[in-house]
Structure 1
Amino acid sequence: MSDDARDLAEAQRRHWQNTYTAHPGMYGEKPSAPAVHAALVFRAAGAEDVLELGAGHGRDALYFAREGFTVQATDFSPTGLEQLKRAAHDQGVAERVTTAVHDVREPLPLPDASVDAVFAHMLLCMALSTKEIHTLVGEIRRVLRPGGTFVYTVRHTGDAHYGAGTSHGDDIYEHGGFAVHFFPRHLVDSLADGWTLDDVHAFEEGDLPRRLWRVTQTLPR
């Protein structure tokens, strides 16, 4: 990692720590629409355990747990995960949720073929380089069992903030202290190499609105 990339990564870590500290439970308790979709997909595939990357304060991880899945939730913000653990206890699902502080630039702290499904809502479009994203998807492939499903969402190059703010290169733009890697379609296709690309669904979220893709892909058995 270059010094500039390392500085950006550390700045983003501080940004999220400060954000979760200042705004506990900032996304509320209601699950995201992609998580509701993912739960249906995971259940149809017979999944029992879910790994969520970039879980934040846990609205989606907690939803998966309430739906009966065993959930492993990771994030690089200890503050967000502490909020998740408290909420899991309050909601009576603590026995189905484990957490781990983890930066996805590092190998996933899980054995090979150890989870049925992986979910990541806007995690892949954080301040990660294209190379780091490919490496992460390789790690996801490693920890998924054969036939496992990966559902992720990303902001794409049709988003209103694409090209706005400070450019960090590699389609990464920082706006309001928040850096985003905006995905071109060819990046989605390349990340599905060796997988079955089940669905690429365009949707909008938030007040801007943010424009995203929800991607569902499956490992061969």
Structure 2
Amino acid sequence: MTDEQELAEIQRRHWQDTYAAHPGMYGEEPSEPAVHAASAFQAAGARDVLELGAGHGRDALFFAREGFTVQATDFSPVGLEQLREAARSQGSEGRVATTVHDVRESLALPDDSVDAVFAHMLLCMALSTKEIHALVGEVRRVLRPGGVFVYTVRHTGDAHYGTGTAHGDDIYEHGGFAVHFFGRELVDTLADGWTLNEVHAFEEGALPRRLWRVTQALPR
């Protein structure tokens, strides 16, 4: 097993244990980026949303309440089971489908098959730069022309950048969670061939975490 594979497996187990120990750990209210994304998706005429790294589903369920059909993926079966239970309790199970998926692997979706993709702090998990590029390539493959991609990442201005356990490739670990911190050059490179609509800086949490919210679209 390579160092990258070992780190990925450790992170998978860590998230499984975290969701099991703290059901609904992020609460029921949608994240600010999801609220922004819903508006951007509606403006683009999107009807279906693919969420990568949906966790226990606060944002996926919000998208469903906003009228979208949602495909929610995560590598944690525990988190997705919590999502399904919440969908049933809210009466929105008909609008939300879940799939266990590791973003290091190809998406099991046809080309040009979804209107919009959302990923809140998924791209800045313990992924190598090469894996991040491959993931964005998959997002581009499954999006229809004119499709919108909204993602958020912690960036190199964050207080944790350069501290904790270093894993190389701008990945640093704190409290068992490994984060790939983004520089602006990486954001710009990932937007090559897209229309980069916005790179919005914001803060979240008690540290606070410093993030970018990136909104980009494919040409029609």
TM-score using structure 2 length = 0.99
1:111 aligns with 2:110: yes
The letter of the residue matching 1:113 is D
* Mapping for residues 67-216 of structure 1, pairs under 5 Å: 67-216=66-215
Tell me which residue corresponds to 2:35: 36
Q: In 2, distance between residues paired with 1:10 and 1:165? A: 19
Q: CA RMSD in A?
A: 0.5
Q: In 2, distance between residues paired with 1:159 and 1:193? A: 25
Q: Measure how far apart 1:25 and its partner are.
A: 0.3
Which digits, 9 at most, give the CA deviation of each residue in 1:94-137, with x for residues without a partner? 00000000000000111100000000000000000000000000
The letter of the residue matching 1:180 is V
Tell me which residue corresponds to 2:59: 60
For structure 2, the residue ranges without an aligned partner over 5 or more in a row are none
Q: In 2, distance between residues paired with 1:69 and 1:142? A: 20
Q: In 1, distance between residues paired with 2:109 and 2:97? A: 12
TM-score using structure 1 length = 0.99
For structure 1, the residue ranges without an aligned partner over 5 or more in a row are none
Which digits, 9 at most, give the CA deviation of each residue in 1:165-205, with x for residues without a partner? 10000000001000000000000000000000000000000
Which ranges of 4 or more aligned residues in structure 1 deviate by more than 2 Å?
none
Q: How many residues align?
A: 220
